[in-house]
Structure 1
């Protein structure tokens, strides 16, 4: 099955466009990706008061623009007059899709209001969008709106899959219900003291045809270790640096 992530070698996902190398989720981050041949952006979507989906992680503008307003309290026109730390307004999702046709987007719907707009864009750009969310219920809502869209597994379902895999990878493979469109587990290496990216989870995921992507990894040695263990993708704040490191060892997807 061809997906937006199909290809050979480990996948490098630019976390928020590469927030360690540029201003996260910004026009500058997108230009930085283009200039360095990166084509997979992990990003976040929130929605304005009048329904415009924009690339933005936080509920408010405080961290990225030094203002206290919530994205949801402003119209798209009002938001377009506010500049983030890159000197530009926050990026509307539709403009990012239009202006950067080479980039594929792994979109985290950060709030309930983002479910419909993200699902709609994923349906229109099936070859370019994978949806994700910490919330399994949001992912289920998006799948009901657009059956079979490409998506990662929600964290509640990851916990259940991990529990089954810890008992037996074969059990996780046989018991976990079929969910067409699920293509990846996007997970931390650990959740507090609890190991998540375990050999059994990786084996169980691969048995089901799921990729395993680990966030957020900037250390090249850690990335090497995870890839050697069978991890398929690395979500990183330093995608240019990590892509250069990994590409010296063989083919990569970036």
Structure 2
């Protein structure tokens, strides 16, 4: 399955870059968030591939969900797809947008890939193993190396959202104290923690499950964890929520081993 994810992420990433170079119109969805041809074409590629390879596993994808297309039964395993995470980065001609594909089993992000086609950074995760993948200019995989979260680093390095910073996030960063701050868009924040390039990713702003599942899977495979502010692992497949819409996430803190104690102590 991970091999299928990797192949589809590369195909979708190639299409995203075609649109990025050519330019495209920016439309607005009902929630005023941007959507482009790159989002739609990437999602078509990924969903066609997943449904052909795994016809019995339902798919939840951002653009289909925005159109009201959601499978009725997600009690077991299902796919979560964000065909272009960081559309604002894409529209603003930045480089850290990603293609995200994940498998969720019983509420846990089990397998995931995150591909940043503009920079070539590519990460995968499955239970017990996370990898950084090297590709060439033809979108072919030419190398792999395992990654894992780091320990015992001070000061902590915190990664935060470039486009969605909040006063709560800034307050958290001040509470941590002596910390280095890296501002990054999209789900690459999870991957920087997974690859021992950062320690904590606090998110005190709105996210949806397709925004986080793939990066969260990579982080957990690398030895980290994403927890809500009450200390529980972030769960997936959330529907019929009393205080929010389907698939919306609460605030969370993603961390490697080095950041876990700090995150838990502060909250």
Same fold? TM cut 0.5: no
TM-score by length of 1: 0.25
Greater helix share, structure number: 1
User: Which structure ranks higher in relative contact order (CA pairs < 8 Å, sequence separation ≥ 6)?
Assistant: 1
TM-score by length of 2: 0.24
